Structure 1
Amino acid sequence: MFVRTSTPCGRPPPPLQRTPGPPPPLSAGDGKPISSLQCGLPDKLERCLERAAGLEQYLENLCSSDSCDYLQTLKMHLHGMIHICCVKVLKLLPKPSGSLMRAFLMAGHCYGSMDPVSNIIVNSIWDNSHGCPLPESERSKIEQYNDILDPLSLLRTQVHSLKGLVELAKFAILETAHGGFSTEGCALELLCSAGCDVFDRFPSSAGMFKEKKLFHEVAKAAGHPLPLQLGELHEMLMVAPEGQALLSLTSEAQIQCSVLRIEDMTNHISRMWRGWVAAKTGGVVQAPKLFPKSLMFVSSMRSKYEERRSWFRSKIEQVLKDYTTQHFWQYKLDIICGVEAINKGRPPLGEMCYRVNFTATSHLERERRLFFAEFLFSGGPRPETCCPLPYDYAGRCYYGEQTARKIVYPDDAKYIPHDITHPGTRRVDDMLEMDVVHFSSEMDVELAEKLNKMHAN
């Protein structure tokens, strides 16, 4: 991707740069690599930018609303960056329990006092162990519910993370602008240039964060379920020795591509969090008791999830076995990261095709590897595809309110017509499959109210 344009902040455009490109195209598939579509693109962009020179004020006025193509492009790029961070976390976590996956999907936002990947890890572990810990009885019920079948669940975390990052970036700009102002466009540009890591852009001390409750305000803007507590957590992390210890553990895992030491991280958070008592939050609000029909609905959703999870895992294990047989490299299925269903042909005669991202492990590699697989519901004569993805961001760059790409695709142009799927980001705040599957009868107040409203009659 090549980026250089006039900016809504009125600053001079940065020099033309090319983001790191993908490695050589995958051998799987018979389509043209997506990278081949970039032929001649730099020269075309140069000519376009020359014509745009001198129109900065005009472009600035255009970029003042959500309909601006430039701002939407920045958001698409940032959603892709955040997705990369989420995939990295899934590759670093030991195979998570259902409760840790619940915490990751509900509260694993990427803003905070560390780098984005470390923030997701710490926020998820904290929510699982201290922020919104499930009773042991409820943990055991969802222990095996750690596969993400509905990709909207992961997309929601990314959408809300971006909202928090934009708020944090605005604060950073205001702190360095010496009386200037900050717009959403300026914040998005800063996030793109900083790779979503803007915390180091703040010149102020930890006292400023505590005084202005910045992390609390950022978490509120992102719609985090526990904004006050998350703000307190990151204020503590900035000054407590446990904060540096946690950062060392996450950094070591990222550098060495090793599995995170979850127990050690939980112990560090526990020592730091002892001072925070329930009285500070006003106590925990008890979720209302579910109606009988609501209980039946939760039970039915969990049963359907288990059936689908079992079917998808058996199918993926088969295509992964075929792949390892052909390539003499043994892999074992780890976590399913998202499933997209696409009807190949016109209903009702069309065949349902599934495209899946999953991680797999090998005794010959320390790092989990991200895979893509494609197969038909009934098998059929059509060849099934299974291939590793050597770079996490391949083919995943479109996000809109109506449609979005929700999984990672190989670098193959044949997937372009079909990999933009419905619905888009506007649906992420609806009731999703993983919400019901991970439902807590004690903690999920809002969801319990929704379920009872659905089954009131």
Structure 2
Amino acid sequence: MAAPCNFALIAVESSRSAPGMGSFSCFHHGDMERRSTLDEGALKKWFENSRARIDEFYDEAARRLPLKEMPELDGCIYAGGLCFGLADPVTNIILNAVGLLLHDQQGEHPPPHGRVRVYEGWRDVVWRSIDGIAAFMNAYFRYLSTDQAKRYLYLASQDLTLAIKLVHHDRFAQGSSNQRRPLLPDGGKLKAALRFAALKAQHPAPDVLAGLMTAEYPRDTLAPVLFKLGNQQGGKEQLTTDDVLEIRDLLAHQWPPTPQPANIDFWCRPNGRTCTRRGDDGVLVISNSLGEDLVAQTSIVTTRDYFQTQQQNYISDLVFCCEDMETKLSRCLEASALAASAMATEVNYDVPPCEHIISVKMCLLDTIHALYIKALATLPSKPSLLRALLVAGHCYGLMDPVSNIILNSFWYDVAFPLARGVEVDLPQGILDTRPMARLESRSLDGLVAMVQGTFGSKHRALEFLSSLDCDLTRSSYLGRPIIKIARNVSFAAVAEIAKHPQHTAFGSFLMSLSPEKIGHLHSLISAAHWDQLIRVLSNEMYSVWPVSVLKEEDSSLVSPFVSARISGKRLAFIRNLDFVHTELNKVLRKYCNQHPWEPSYQLDIICGVTASSSPFHPNFYHANFLATINDAIGSSHERTLFFAEFWVSPSREDVQSKPSSCCPIYDYSACIGRCSFCEDEGNKILHPPSGHSRDFNGSINLYRSAVRAYKDVLKGLLVSDFIYFDPGRDVELAKIIHDYEDNNIPEMLDTKPSLVCERPRFI
């Protein structure tokens, strides 16, 4: 049953929008101008409109299923036959109902008494489906407001896969890697969102629905079943009991099965009593001595090797990118084109900014955060370089963003070093993530300043940056190489807008770079050439930059009292960093012991920590850190990012009941998980795609709180300002710090409770 697109709500970007991006949820309101084809009345009646549409889905599913011959299906539809999933809504209802029937027959979840419809029709399950499908949108997409979710679902006629397509079209440029990325596999992000939606919809076994929709199936049976159920030729015929049994048999062959097989923990790395070996066939064999001449052997083979001859498919492989889905999307785009041609007046998109562009901006900040993690994973471990990155390592320039961050950090470290001997007091790690968030916001301001002259609007500039993932080198900047447009950009002005601490000198540096110099410097951005990069920057420093901007200022603005307070804050920071370092080493050793088939890792750089604060319960910590492979001395490897959770409590029993853990995160630019606590606090801790099991406030619709937390980051002083303060050059900051410490003006300091503001109770 095809779900037509609701054209009445479509509002579109003008023809001058960023290439390949639309704005199905972009609306501007104001007294002087109103960007409309929005049917406000339809949006206000969203629940009523949704119910009417979803009622049709259930009527169609009931018509097609053999309910008289298999009356137990009626109760399964009512209990768990929700209309959302990765197929069309009617197919989802049928698959979810049969999946619950299979689950009941396997004895895992016996059907409760009263699994029958209480009312005529499908009123209860329709309302639960509406709650679940809206919850999915908020859980799966970061920074999606409730109104935006409603618009996408209305446009998609409550077809979840089409709604996902519409959001991707708005957020990703056509042909970009993000738009081409398949829905699965994604490390568990989609499964976690479906489980959350099923919980919201009161499904009796949420893991069954989430597992069913994200599992792999034998291709030779999956395709015929979906064809029979779907919107193609077979999608109108009534199903027989044999058809239902065929669907049940398909679902019984999902991989991984639900519930998943038990995990096997390995508590010893290779040593005298445990050894590992990998055979010629790639199978890893772990042998554990059990004593008394007994040895336990476990064979481990990768899923890819095991299924390479199985011809497995996800449901989304055959539905999300099929011809029928492209037809639905084309209908929406055609309606968009008609709406765009009907717009008679020019609109100022920046007054006020709409929810769509706020979402784009927040997603860009996440993209930039991933770029900084990549830069940290590459930079050498040197406290002065970490300080240079946090103070002035902006991501705009004449190379790709990661290279810009690395080069700009090296440049600042060479051009504006701290006084001799100060580096010994610098920390090698980041606790509070707010300094990173502030740096990323300033970098985005610089990128917008670079391109806004071309578009005339921050709105369009942000969409353009989103289409390129902030990498201006990828599209040759509207047909012109980036080196050519540098002639028309005042980098000093861009750096000043981005609040670079030395914007004049930094602008002079960027303007001095010829294409040859850029190519040479870019070739030196690697672990094998760090020393050479420093020599090149040092040799050219005084010949390029005015000496007047490099000299140190008088540091007498800082009184001895204030200087002592700054030293105290630095010592407290180091103590807290040592505590976190100790705890992370424990969880990393535990991970290595339980995963002997992986390399052995060594903790390197802490990238951020979120701490709870409760006087009655154990305190938990979420953290990101970078680790190196602990093998041959002197070997160089790019660091691996980890997520960790650890607990601290005066009671050992409380901590044992809440085991600490960590795991690597490999794809932190797109597939990252959700955590209501960290996001609500505005902390940029990257979680594994599957999210985290402890959802402390029961909600991950964090659009408002995330935007509020972002704005709070930009206010006041941060602890890092004291840690990396340079009294010889940071004249303005010196005045602010002096006034704060000398006059005790609390509003000048961000006093939000943080791990780094005070010494933790348990140290």
State the TM-score, normalizing by the size of structure 2. Answer: 0.51
Q: 1:264-320 CA deviation, whole Å, 9 max, x = no partner?
A: 111121233231354453954334432343223212211211111111000000000
Residue in 2 that maps onto 1:136 = 420
CA contact (8 A) 2:505 2:545 kept: no
CA separation in 2, counterparts of 1:193 and 1:404? Answer: 25
Deviation per CA, 1:86-143, whole angstroms, max 9, x where unpaired? 01111111212x221111001100001111111101100000011x22121222332x
What is the alpha-carbon distance in structure 1 between the residues aligned to residue 451 and residue 366 of structure 2? 18
Tell me, yes or no, if structure 1 residue 160 matches structure 2 residue 481: no
What is residue 6 of structure 1 aligned with on the other side? 12
1:148 corresponds in structure 2 to: 430
- The one of 181, 189, 195 equivalent to 1:20 is 181
Q: Distance in 2 between matches of 1:451 and 1:235?
A: 33
The answer (yes or no) to whether the contact 2:451–2:461 under 8 Å persists in 1 is yes
Structure 1 residue 369: deviation in Å? Answer: 0.5
Once the two structures are superposed, the pairs formed by residues 260-339 of structure 1 within 5 Å of their partners are: 261-279=529-547, 281=549, 284-328=552-596, 329-339=599-609
Tell me the distance in 2 between the aligned counterparts of 1:190 and 1:331: 39
Are 1:340 and 2:610 an aligned pair? yes
In structure 2, what is the Cα distance between the partners aligned to 1:342 and 1:6? 43
Using CA pairs below 8 Å that are at least 6 residues apart, which structure has the higher relative contact order?
1
Q: Deviations over 1:335-392 (max 9, x none)?
A: 000011235xxx4323321100000011458221000000112234212121000112
Note the 1:53-92 alignment, pairs <5 A: 54-56=338-340, 57=343, 61=347, 63-65=349-351, 67-92=353-378
Superposed, which structure 2 residues align to 1:390-405 within 5 Å? 390-393=666-669, 394-395=671-672, 404-405=682-683
> What runs of 5+ residues in structure 2 fail to find an aligned partner?
1-9, 23-168, 198-209, 214-315, 650-654, 744-763
Residue 245 of structure 1: aligned partner: 520
- Cα distance, 1:397 vs structure 2: 8.6
Q: Say whether residues 1:440 and 2:601 are aligned partners.
A: no
Paired AA for residue 382 in structure 1? K
Q: Does the C-alpha gap of structure 1 residues 22 and 387 become closer, same or farther in structure 2, counting only changes over 3 Å? A: farther
- Deviation, structure 1 residue 33: 3.1
Q: Residues 416-439 of structure 1: CA distance to partner in whole angstroms, max 9, x if unpaired?
A: 666867843432352112221122
Q: Partner of 2:748 in structure 1?
A: none
- 1:350 counterpart (588, 595, 617): 617
**Preserved CA contact (<8 Å) 1:155 1:425:** no
Quick one: distance in 2 between partners of 1:428 and 1:8?
32
Contact 1:342 1:352 in 2 (8 A): yes
Change (3 A) 1:9 1:375: farther
Q: Distance in 2 between matches of 1:184 and 1:397?
A: 28
1:248 Cα deviation from its structure 2 partner: 1.5
Q: Which amino acid aligns with 1:134?
A: L
State yes or no: 1:222 paired with 2:498: yes
2:466 is aligned with 1:192:
yes
Partner of residue 664 from structure 2, selected from 385, 388, 393: 388
- Cα RMSD between the aligned structures? 3.7
Listed as ranges, the matches of 1:396-435 within 5 Å are: 404-413=682-691, 414=693, 423-435=709-721
What SS does structure 2 have at the residue aligned with 1:317? helix
* Identical columns (%): 29
Q: Specify the alignment match of 1:121 in structure 2.
A: 406
How far apart in 2 are the matches of 1:376 and 1:82? 30
After TM superposition, give the deviation of residue 67 of structure 1 in Å. Answer: 3.7
My pick for the range that moved more, 47-56 or 376-385, is 47-56
| SS across alignment from 1:261 | helix
Determine the C-alpha separation between the residues in 2 that align with 1:187 and 1:135.
Answer: 40
Q: Cα–Cα, structure 1 residues 342 and 23, in superposed 2: closer, same or farther, change >3 Å? A: farther
Residue 333 of structure 1: SS of its match in structure 2?
Answer: strand
Between 361-370 and 263-272, the greater mean CA deviation after superposition: 361-370
After alignment, is 425-434 or 352-361 more displaced?
Answer: 425-434
CA distance in 1, matches of 2:639, 2:352: 38
Q: Which runs of 5+ in 1 are unaligned?
A: 175-180, 254-258
Query: Partners of 2:618 and 2:347 in 1: how far apart?
Result: 47
- How far 1:260 sits from its partner (Å)? 5.7
Residue identity matched to 2:629: S
The separation in 2 between residues aligned to 1:13 and 1:100, in whole angstroms, is 38
Change (3 A) 1:453 1:110: same
Distance in structure 2 (CA, Å) of the matches to 1:92 and 1:13: 32
2:392 corresponds to which residue?
Answer: 107
Counterpart contact for 1:113–1:238, Cα < 8 Å: no
Change (3 A) 1:208 1:319: closer
* Distance in 2 (alpha carbons) for counterparts of 1:10 and 1:205: 21
- Give the Cα–Cα distance (whole angstroms) in 2 for the partners of residues 377 and 60 of structure 1: 58
Amino acid at match of 1:395: I
Does structure 2 retain, via aligned residues, the 8 Å contact 1:409–1:415? no
1:93 correspondence with 2:379:
yes
Give, in whole Å, the separation in 2 of the partners of 1:194 and 1:148.
Answer: 28
The amino acid that maps onto 1:150 is: D
C-alpha distance 333-433 of structure 1, shift in aligned 2 (>3 A): same
Is the deviation greater in 31-40 or in 405-414?
31-40
Residues 176-200 of structure 1: per-residue CA shift (max 9 Å, x gap): xxxxx52111111111112212253
Is contact 2:645-2:660 (8 Å) kept?
Answer: yes
Partner of 1:177: none
Map Cα deviations across residues 155-175 of structure 1 (whole Å, 9 max, x no partner).
Answer: 11110000000111224xx2x
Q: Which has the larger radius of gyration?
A: 2
Instruction: Give the 3 Å change call, closer, same or farther, for CA 213–196 of structure 1 in structure 2.
Output: closer
Contact 2:524 2:530 in 1 (8 A): no
**Could you tell me which amino acid in structure 2 is paired with residue 248 of structure 1?**
S
CA distance in 2, matches of 1:321, 1:140: 28
2:638 to 367, 374, 378: 367
- For normalisation by structure 1, the TM-score amounts to 0.82
SS at match of 2:543: coil
Give the whole-Å Cα distance in 1 for the aligned partners of 2:661 and 2:730: 39
Matches of 2:551 and 2:535 in 1, distance apart?
Answer: 23
Moved more, 420-429 or 362-371: 420-429
The 3-state SS of whatever aligns with 1:170 is helix
2:100 aligns with none
Structure 1 residue 48 displacement after superposition: 6.9
Of the structure 1 ranges 121-130 and 197-206, higher mean CA displacement relative to structure 2 is found in 197-206
